[in-house]
Amino acid sequence: MKLFKAICSSGELSRRKSIDAIQEAMVTVNGHLILDPFIDIQSEDDIRLDNKKIKYNIDLTTILLNKPSGYLSTKSDEKGRKTIFELVPKNPPLNHVGRLDKNTTGAILLTNDGNLSQFLMHPKNKIEKEYIAITDKYLSEKNINRLRKGIFIGSNQKGRAKIASQDLNKGRVEVSMILKQGKKNEIRRIFKFLDLNLISLKRIRIGEIKLSNLAEGSWRNLSKKELNFLSKIQS
């Protein structure tokens, strides 16, 4: 693990502030002053920030789950309904990054990296998320333009989306939608206010992390390329 990530995982500082602290000569490793945020450290290393020993989690894990319909994006449910945590390993303990509603399927990340989770969920970072919405008719050019600019979806909020494509498949229209916001039930509210029938909804991409052929209900570790993407966007 890189030194700055170890400091991040301790919860002491954000990613940016961790890098700044190292470069400002505030961090030692095993008694040695270190100015390079990107050196590799080991689990037994003694890391101190302003001479205060920090506890860090070197075993950061992030996985991608293909969520099936009918599962809640929560750790437990008082009504005994199924949750996504029945589908993923119990160790190490993970938290979900954002939510998909009960009937929405597809890509959801789970991680024990708190800083990554906060970064991905913060609206200002505008991480692209791509969905496939199944409906029974094409969106008009007028509605496509309205969505690009933003339409009122209630609660004093606007819904925005880029329509990447529309394809007819077995009598239904598959609409590829790209969003950079994270409003609750945003796509379902968009379809409601456009008076369109949303038959099903699936998220297929989060940034450069693609669902591809991952089976429904299955999970996988992120590839090196995907981990590098997450590291890059946080720098």
pLDDT at 123: 83
Q: What is the pLDDT of residues 54-93, one digit of tens each?
A: 888 767 889 999 999 999 999 889 999 999 999 999 888 8
The candidate with the shortest Cα–Cα distance to 117, out of 211, 66, 182, 36, is 182
Q: What is the pLDDT of residues 98-153, one digit of tens each?
A: 999 999 999 999 998 877 888 898 888 999 999 999 999 999 999 999 999 999 99
Separation of alpha carbons 67 and 128, rounded Å: 18
pLDDT at 215: 98
pLDDT at 42: 84
Q: Count the helices and strands in the chain (H runs, E runs).
A: 6, 15
Long-range contacts of 22-31 (CB under 8 A, 24+ apart): 26/50, 27/3, 29/3
Cβ atoms of 102 and 72 within 8 Å: the answer is yes
| Residues belonging to the active site | 101
Separation of alpha carbons 176 and 165, rounded Å: 5
- What is the chain's mean pLDDT, rounded? 92
Query: In order of start, what are the domains of the chain with their CATH numbers?
Result: 3-53 (3.10.290.10), 62-123+213-234 (3.30.70.580), 128-206 (3.30.70.1560)
pLDDT for residue 15 is more than 90: no
Long-range contacts of 141-146 (CB under 8 A, 24+ apart): 143/194
Question: What SS3 state is found at 190?
Answer: helix
Q: 0.85 cut: is pTM over it?
A: no
